[in-house]
Structure 1
Amino acid sequence: MLLTLTTTPQPARPFPATDLGFLLHKHPERVLERELPFGRATVFYPEATPEVCTAALLLEVDPVALSRTTRPGEGAPLEPYVNDRPYAAGSFLAVALRDAFGTAMTGRSKDRQDLADTPLPLVAELPCVAARGPEGLPERLFGPLGYAVEAEPIPLDPLFPEWGERPYVRLRVSGTVRLRDLLAHLYVLLPVLDGRKHYYLNETEVEKLLRHGAGWLDTHPERDLITGRFLRFRELVRQAEAAFTPAVPEEEGPEEEEAPRDPRPRLHDARLDRVAEVLKASGAARVLDLGCGEGKLLRRLLEVGQFRELVGVDVSGRALEMAADRLHLKERPELAQRVRLLHGSLAYRDTRLHGFDAAALVEVIEHLEPHHLDALTANVFGDARPRTVVVTTPNREYNAVFGADAGMRHADHRFEWTRAEFRVWAEAAASEYGYAVGFEDVGEVHADYGPVTQMAVFAKDDP
């Protein structure tokens, strides 16, 4: 994959174009090669004159080397070897960009600091960019930053245009901007366009986003979309959102009356309240909250004396800290005999989850990669084997109520099921592991599209 950066002097800024080398800290007459964990990056200048200077970053990704680090169960047998990683710009190129031009991204230049601080006429071109997402995504991301954006779709096969297009474009963005800003925009927005980062995401990604998004992301009209696709996981998104400027509500005019409050509970609260009711009706005394997040369901269950032991499990350590604060576990040491919070993943067997009466998975399964769902099913129903299991998940059909382009309801969702798809999974799990299963609508129900949330309640008679 290839990225080129081009500048040309203008009368208002009469500098030699080759000064781009001082800003990038790469001499136009030299070729730089860097070995990366996933391939090789090369920086060179295909054109370097006082009138026009172009720096190129060429990244050669080795899919065979990548396949050796693929975890078991990920992808089809040929997928690690046959994919778009060597050709379509995305997170691999963003990593190579930071590696090659890291000093330039700080805005420092020993010999041309005045030029580094000056907006310059710059053009970035990429012959193939992965642009998975809503139509017009490149324009929505780069346009508000002041760039002229040209995104030409790439057909599946130029000889057969009727076959349609793949999610790739030839991308050209141009504008008068500081080099450091252009590099930061590319570093953040290329993975956002792709929507599939190749490496493990943790809290350092939040720091990267806030650092490289400083001065522009907070006011970008697509801030939420950028944050969600860059970070992917809801806990990381929440951490980033805490650093943003909160929206200021518009002041009401003197003649405006206060709008009446909707007496109906919010969907989130209605869902948790209904799950708590089902767990109480099951007669359970020892309950697992699998994917407990910040502990909102646990807080409801704590109010019911019937529940003698409550255990929350989550893969996010930060979420468990927030749950401990929400439940006031430090201030109430007497709860230690009744409430425990465990760090763990439902993709793996966990003997700590044995022997419980009931388990709840509230809006959890859609956050798993599809290939991990079989493991979760086996671990919950086949290994932990609580008598009652309550599962809620969004109904994808209902998304039509939100608009034709609504997509999935959260950037961290890996899939969303229709009512039929949810029933197929639930009935198969019940049949394989000896449960009976019933279904219930939660929240608003549309005449054509069904409920906003769908719930399955699994029950078994044997202990």
Structure 2
Amino acid sequence: MLLSISTTHAPATDLGFLLHKHPDRAHEASLPFGRARVVYPEASAARCTAALLVDVDPVGLVRGRNGGPRGRDASLEQYVNDRPYAASSFLSVALGKLFGTALSGRSKDRPDLAGEALPFEVHLPVLPCRGGEPVLHALWEPLGYEVAASGRALDDDFPEWGPSPYLDVRLSATVKTQDLLQHLYVLLPVLDDDKHYWVGDDEVDKLLRRGGEWLAGHPERDLITRRYLRHDRRLATAALARLVEADGAVDDPDAQAEARDAEEEAVERPLSLNAQRLDAVIAAVRAAGARSVIDLGCGQGTLLGRLLRDTDARLAGVDVSHRSLEVAARRLHLETMAPRQRERIELFQGALTYRDARLAGFDVATIVEVVEHLDPPRLGPFERAVWGYARPATVVVTTPNREYNRLFPTLPAGHLRHRDHRFEWTRAELATWAAGVADRHGYTVQLTGIGAEDPDAGQPTQMAVFSRAGGR
């Protein structure tokens, strides 16, 4: 298991002072799962590289668990696995052990330099990344890193075996040493999505200590928190609550999102566009004869309220934002709802770019003004999660028509309707994307517009209704 950190700061050998590891010596430490070493393969005034090598002993690791595994756990996989080679939570433990002082932001000999942003390059030659490159970019780029990644073959001697699940990754940024190490410490196990030791309440404190200054404002805050805490809902909820409290209401990403939603609503209100959108979606749900509907990216539950009132379908709402789900529960009056009605609906937190068994089994999925909030590299995972894995009989998607934007008198978000929109499609762009999705997953698609039609710009909202061949 290998991680290298390089700098071209002049003189580059100051890296030794920042990491508290002299370039002329090898440094070694014992760990519960093996040994870790720090060496410097290059150390000149122009460029200096510190390499952290971690030797994991998988046999000793298994045998150390009260005599080793028994029964179903006594498999060869316990001994033969990727732990000695692939970056994981073991590498984070080694970072904490060998670079603990640097992680705290201290440097005895270069105290001023420890507070400066310096040019760094990180190389991780074998990095597992659940979700692939889109997740890698989504985690690191908001922190200011340039990301370069290439796939690795499962076996160079047998190319027919195909690619491995590992990436060769280089990260470049100008950041403080402490920030770099904290980002690595938190995000390595998040990318691997598997911590190799017990996760308890103390892990919440550790996450907030290492991520408190940057995690609260990260757009993938919820994903990072869930994965770091091994998807323990109780711990993740506690960590997110403390992050929001520490960050303050003004900087709370959920509060910012609500303010931006209000801006978009103000732009569209003169056209009564939201009401027309909901009417069109309800009509599409009814036309599909849906007995069950899941609203993906349900937000604060506006569509779910209409579906409760206007249909008899079983309903579910999913959103990445805990706060939005809490608001939706209050607006829908779930706590005081009649038992029979309450049995019809459930709300749960989740992302739309990962396979999730809870998304499957519904006749119709509605995706209303959601897709434009996704970074373009995440459209592929989103497509596979919804059309490839969940596979509802009908999928209803609405999204803005960018061509219509010039007809709005004012756009607080600039040329897009919402500051968080990553893009907005023209009619031709939506048609191209929708046709590709339908073709790849065995659907047909019908495109329509919503709202008053302009002869040149079309209608303000676009709607795509996907129908799976063979129906339910």
Q: What is aligned with 1:24?
A: 19
SS in 2 for 1:16: coil
The 1-side partners of 2:194 and 2:364 are apart by 25
Q: What is aligned with 1:120?
A: 118
CA drift at 1:137: 2.4
2:133 touches 2:149 (CA, 8 Å); kept in 1?
no
Q: What is aligned with 1:198?
A: 196
CA drift at 1:302: 13
Detail structure 1 runs of 4+ shifted over 6 Å in the superposition. 269-272, 299-304, 416-419, 446-451
SS in 2 for 1:4: strand
Name the CA shift for 1:449/1:96 in 2 (closer, same or farther; >3 Å): farther
The 1-side partners of 2:197 and 2:79 are apart by 17
2:360 paired residue among 385, 389, 396: 396
Write out aligned runs for 1:37-186 (5 A): 37-68=32-63, 69=65, 72=70, 75=73, 77-186=75-184
Q: What is aligned with 2:399?
A: none
SS in 2 for 1:247: helix
SS in 2 for 1:405: helix
SS in 2 for 1:253: helix
Name the CA shift for 1:19/1:408 in 2 (closer, same or farther; >3 Å): same
CA drift at 1:117: 0.6
2:381 paired residue among 390, 393, 405: 405
Where in structure 1 are there 5+ consecutive unaligned residues? 10-14, 273-298, 305-361, 365-392, 410-415, 420-445, 452-463
Residues 197-255 of structure 1: CA deviation (Å, up to 9, x unaligned): 10111222222222222232222222222222212212222112212323331334285
CA drift at 1:271: 7.5
The 2-side partners of 1:105 and 1:62 are apart by 26
SS in 1 for 2:255: coil
How many residues are aligned here?
A: 304
AA in 2 matched with 1:156: L
TM-score, normalising length: structure 1? 0.57
Name the CA shift for 1:303/1:134 in 2 (closer, same or farther; >3 Å): same
1:147 touches 1:174 (CA, 8 Å); kept in 2?
yes
Q: What is aligned with 2:443?
A: none
Where in structure 2 are there 5+ consecutive unaligned residues? 245-251, 276-301, 317-334, 341-345, 349-356, 368-378, 393-466
The 2-side partners of 1:193 and 1:450 are apart by 37
Question: Are 2:263 and 1:264 aligned?
Answer: no
TM-score, normalising length: structure 2? 0.56
1:28 touches 1:48 (CA, 8 Å); kept in 2?
yes
Name the CA shift for 1:224/1:303 in 2 (closer, same or farther; >3 Å): closer
Residues 51-88 of structure 1: CA deviation (Å, up to 9, x unaligned): 22111111000000122226555656101111000000
Write out aligned runs for 1:278-293 (5 A): none
The 2-side partners of 1:168 and 1:177 are apart by 26
Name the CA shift for 1:400/1:114 in 2 (closer, same or farther; >3 Å): farther
Higher helix share: 2
CA drift at 1:136: 2.7
RMSD: 3.7
Q: What is aligned with 1:8?
A: 8
CA drift at 1:395: 5.9
SS in 2 for 1:17: coil
Name the CA shift for 1:115/1:302 in 2 (closer, same or farther; >3 Å): same
